A and B are shown apart, each in its own frame.
Chain A
């Protein structure tokens, strides 16, 4: 195992995100992740004075201040001490728990299936980041849209795509959500508003922007008041150095599009550490530079993410424009199943493993008497059955036949052109058999 001289866990004084500041720390120098007063500029926020007021009214301490970076267990401790109201109801809590367990179990099963030779290629697993997906997507409505990257299985699941459809897609079967034509990195669902699934980082952000533009267009040009769909774009820290990210931030703020940019900052872009790649590692700071609020949140705590999501979604739906949310999170596995994951310091991995979002939520639910062990166990059992069924379904599903090869290349297959005999190529009997010359 290689070790490098520079520390893996950034020290408290580094410009990067301060991890767990101790309550008693008195360095005299505030870690840079507290919310600077500047970002609450009223001209940018419009009616969002409510944002800060809401926070201080409902919570003893705004999650956006220093103590927000504290781990869930510290927050839970504060909760009980201050006897403030709970962040979720029992139903909501169980829903969140079930969604995160679904994500985790699914990804674990993916790894198993991959090593058994049922799926191939690049598979990127989401273990450890479930709080971000669950926290945001469970605040969305059915007609809202989600746009993701190659690490998209759990986003699709949270949005409502059935586990069997995703598993079939991974196995490359016709019953997959994309008929087996997309694969792990291209999960789409028109029914559930999942706009992909993109292999190149950054290329999904403008697509999400387009969906948000559509929403605004339908409201203002087509005069459809019900068209208040919000779009959430998920992407990583590596993407935040890409041109499309900045171009999209500019246009979203310029036209006040109903979009939320969610950065899943897991500190690593394959083997490139975020600190080595970025001149100003605080991604949330880049939001105000483009005229939108930039928020940093502990992405290992689903309740904190949910609070931020609630406000960001409401802001977008009101028509106040975009928000940039940076979620500090971590992936427990390598970049993909092909990644030996040798560069990351084991101490860093252990640090984040201790902040497992599922464990934290479980603790919260139990300590606040929202659920007991048997409730959670039954959820886990239910999810296990769902996953088993999904695998069986995928195994039993047929592989695509040759005839599927030429379908879906064009929405209008006349695009294959006119053949020498004067007929359109798609009228050739060989077309549906996949053997026509095109």
Chain B
């Protein structure tokens, strides 16, 4: 059966579909129910092996055109692990959260349906049974107030992890996130720290409608005093979750609704990712492609086509949306002299817009071509599947953008 074959690919990233009941990992039969054009795109993604397990690396070395090369030299690379365990992204988040809650009894989770329900995307499944109803607190539907409650708890010694059931709901908490999370450390003259983590799924899903498909990273990026990170693989999801909880700063961790079922083998030993660093996904020479979250996978898919056409793109997952890792980005630009930004935010005022400004400010002399930025259309995400696909950036657009930039 097609689904089991997909699942058995060692370390292969499984298809992208939100799942509300998580227990069945082989729940890939949905692919049969999708229209032909969507099914084929999923099959392509599955062929690319993104994992850092030894099997896939061997395979990669045999192929002339490999979509992913692992960065071996950094300490945070999962390639150094000989053994590991495979899990899905939401399980990786849970593992990170669980480890931190065991390590520090002050860490608690606050949000809607995080306790008995296990989280709307099952990130906190089983944790209320383990840690109790006060440590994994089911709140009433009052985002502004329970976010403020998290801030007050953080000021008085706790380390809450506040979950927005969907990132879009945090628009209701904007008062608290902007005024209190962002500014309180400053206006109190440094007396109070706000070590909160605000996390939740955002981004454009599969026909979830306009209000459930928002990208709040562009709204929060101007708030001083906040750090923002976006996870994209099980490895960096767990690492960033742990780093965010350990950080003394308020951190917003952006997850993506469609990435929760990605499967990857991650190290058994404990590791933490750096909040401020970007991740080199594929070293290259012709063009720097900067991306994050779900668009990483569209870029990877486009990369296969580009490599076949003879291009050598360097792909960086920026991971840290605020602040930008200008070192990794800068080194790449100094090498390739061409930049393409691929993001899911709106064209106006998105992360890409800020990144473009930062690159122009810092690396203008190294650019041989204008920076191209592919973003979502400035429209409310439509419900219809065809329209929705046209609002976000698709791999063919990325391919033609690279061709244009590199001429």
- Which residues of A are in contact with B by a Cβ distance under 8 Å? 145, 147, 176-183, 186, 188-190, 195-200, 203, 205-218, 220-222, 229, 243-244, 247-248, 250-251, 254, 407-412, 414-422, 424-425, 438
* B window 140-185: CB within 8 A of A: 140, 142, 144-158, 175-176, 179-180, 184-185
Once the chains bind, are B188 and A186 in contact (CB under 8 Å)? yes
List residues of chain A with CB within 8 A of the CB of B150: 210
List residues of chain B with CB within 8 A of the CB of A183: 187
Stretch of B214-222, B300-308, B325-333 on the interface side:
B325-333
Once the chains bind, are A181 and B134 in contact (CB under 8 Å)? no
A232 to B180, CA, bound (A): 18
Closest Cβ of chain B: how far from A422's Cβ, in Å? 4
* Shortest Cβ distance from A257 into B: residue: B149
8 closest Cβ pairs, A-B complex: A210-B152, A417-B323, A206-B148, A179-B189, A188-B188, A178-B189, A247-B145, A207-B152
* Shortest Cβ distance from B184 into A: residue: A196
Closest Cβ of chain A: how far from B56's Cβ, in Å? 30
List residues of chain A with CB within 8 A of the CB of B135: 217, 221
A259 to B172, CA, bound (A): 24
Interface size on B, residues (CB 8 A): 60
B142 contact from A214, A215, A251, A415, Cβ within 8 A: A251
List residues of chain A with CB within 8 A of the CB of B158: 213-214, 217
**Residue of A183, A208, A211, A417 with highest tally of chain B CB at under 10 A:** A417
Closest Cβ of chain A: how far from B51's Cβ, in Å? 27
Q: If the complex has contacts A221-B135, A251-B139, A411-B194, are A182 and B187 also in contact, measured as CB distance less than 8 A?
A: yes
Is B276 an interface position by the 8 A CB rule? Answer: yes
* Shortest Cβ distance from B105 into A: residue: A222
Is B249 an interface position by the 8 A CB rule? Answer: yes
B227 contact from A180, A190, A210, A415, Cβ within 8 A: A415
* Shortest Cβ distance from B188 into A: residue: A188
List residues of chain B with CB within 8 A of the CB of A189: 191
Q: If the complex has contacts A210-B148, A418-B323, A421-B327, are A203 and B175 also in contact, measured as CB distance less than 8 A?
A: yes
6 extra interchain contacts, Cβ-Cβ under 8 A, other than A210-B155, A411-B193, A422-B327? A178-B191, A179-B189, A190-B188, A210-B150, A211-B153, A222-B106
Is B201 an interface position by the 8 A CB rule? Answer: no
List residues of chain A with CB within 8 A of the CB of B247: 412, 415
List residues of chain A with CB within 8 A of the CB of B330: 420
Once the chains bind, are A206 and B276 in contact (CB under 8 Å)? no
Q: If the complex has contacts A420-B326, A420-B363, are A216 and B134 also in contact, measured as CB distance less than 8 A?
A: yes
Is B195 an interface position by the 8 A CB rule? Answer: yes
Is B260 an interface position by the 8 A CB rule? Answer: no
Once the chains bind, are A418 and B276 in contact (CB under 8 Å)? yes
Once the chains bind, are B187 and A251 in contact (CB under 8 Å)? no
A208 to B150, CA, bound (A): 10
List residues of chain B with CB within 8 A of the CB of A415: 225, 227, 247, 249, 275-276, 323
A248 contact from B134, B145, B157, Cβ within 8 A: B145
List residues of chain B with CB within 8 A of the CB of A222: 105-106
A408 contact from B148, B153, B190, Cβ within 8 A: B190
